[in-house]
Amino acid sequence: MESLTVVETLQPAVRAIFWVGALITASLALWLLYMVITGFRIWVLGNGDLISPKLGKWAVVTGATDGIGKSYAEELARRGFSMMLISRSQEKLDDVAKSLESTYKVDTKTIAVDYSQADIYPKIEKGLAGLERILVNNVGISYTYPEFFLHIPDLENFITTMINVNITSVCQMTRLVLPRMEARAKGVILNISSASGMFPLPLLTIYSSTKAFVDYFSRGLNAEYKSKGIIIQSVLPFFVATKMTRIRKPTLDKPTPERYVAAELNTVGLQDQTNGYFPHAVMGWVIAILAPIQLVICLGLRLNKSQRGGYLRRRKLR
């Protein structure tokens, strides 16, 4: 009799636990379904023909002669855009321009400038007049090797150069193209940040911080101008097999720049902030959701210390 009374007493609590469990299970199921549908929409269906000459004839790419920048120029030309190519070497610009013209039968223009200098923007503004519909802010530099802040060679000039190339260029190029985009209520700006801007990265601290700026700048500006028909996307790739990363052999998680860019362009208009490539998106999700930030910083410090030691040992052997 007494045990029956205990059971009756516990029944409301059991029911409550059951319904809480059922609610949590249903919520998780709905969240998982939403993630699957969203992932299918982004990584399988893509954005269709959003990035096409329907936006306008011309696309502008900075840092257009190597790596990801060159691949953006090639992919956009393949899609029918005429290309304005901006980089430091006129010789390399001419080579890329000739290749695009012969392969894709598009018009090209070039501007040779050094983004480490602050006085280049009047020249760029004159060259851009009337051309911009898509801007890819890709130009950027990183460290020669991971290093402690005070041990960076020629630190004062290094700081100025890094800020001019990685931060000032993004702000100034956006300043030049945004008024015409706003006037036409149409345009796309892709700002190439880096996954290292998602968290502090010791021994690459200045680079990581400049890329975090690009991410925050892009997302804030997108909120300002999205309602005006302008897409401003923050792109945060992990490792891509380029000269800058010194990765020679592509793998599933370290794709060729061509493969990365083709995947990334299909996310435009679907994601305001993107890792651009499905394996990178999985890696970004794991780091952002599951990995404690202190663990990420600790692992980054350990990895970069190891790379620093290897680089310095190789220098001594030369």
Determine the structural domain holding residue 269 and report its residue range.
56-317
Which has the minimum average pLDDT: 163-177, 239-253, 287-301? 239-253
Which DSSP state fits 34? H
- Quick check: 2 pLDDT over 60? no
Look at residue 25 in the predicted model and tell me its pLDDT: 83
Closest residue by Cα to residue 121 from 188, 171, 66: 171
pLDDT computed for residue 137 by the predictor: 98
Give me the pLDDT at residue 192, please.
98
8 belongs to a structural domain: no
Both tokens assigned to 253? 């998680």
| Structural domain contains residue 307 | yes
Give the residue with greater pLDDT, 68 vs 33: 68
Asked whether 238 and 284 are in contact (CB, 8 A), the reply is yes
Query: Looking at the domain assignment, is residue 26 inside a domain?
Result: no
Instruction: Note the pLDDT of residue 5.
Output: 65
Distance of alpha carbon 253 from alpha carbon 278, whole angstroms: 9
pLDDT above 90 for 10: no
pLDDT, residue 23, reads 85
pLDDT value at residue 129: 87
CB 93 within 8 A of CB 117: no
**pLDDT tens-place string over residues 57-84:** 999 999 999 999 999 999 999 999 999 9
Segment 195-208 mean pLDDT: 96
Distances (CA, A) of 315 to 59, 74, 305, 310, 318: 41, 36, 15, 9, 5
Indicate which residue of 72, 207, 260, 277 is catalytic: 207
Residue 32 maps to a domain: no
Selected residue with higher pLDDT from 177 and 32: 177
The candidate with the shortest Cα–Cα distance to 211, out of 299, 142, 294, is: 142
39 occurs within a structural domain? no
Q: Which long-range contacts (CB under 8 A, 24 or more apart) does 3-12 make?
A: none
Evaluate if residue 289 carries a pLDDT over 90: no
Question: What CATH number does the domain containing 273 carry?
Answer: 3.40.50.720
What is the pLDDT, as a whole number, of residue 128? Answer: 93
> Can 143 be counted among the known catalytic residues?
no
Burial of 77 (0-12, 13-18, 19+ CB in 10 A): buried
Whole-number pLDDT of residue 318 = 59
Backbone angles phi, psi at 191, to 5 degrees: -105, 115
Closest CA to 64 of 174, 182, 190: 190
Q: For the segment 218-232, what is each residue's pLDDT rounded down to a tens digit?
A: 999 999 999 999 999
Overall number of domains in the chain? 1
Residue whose structure tokens are 């997108």: 222
> How confident is the model over 128-157, as a mean pLDDT?
93
pTM for the model stands at 0.89
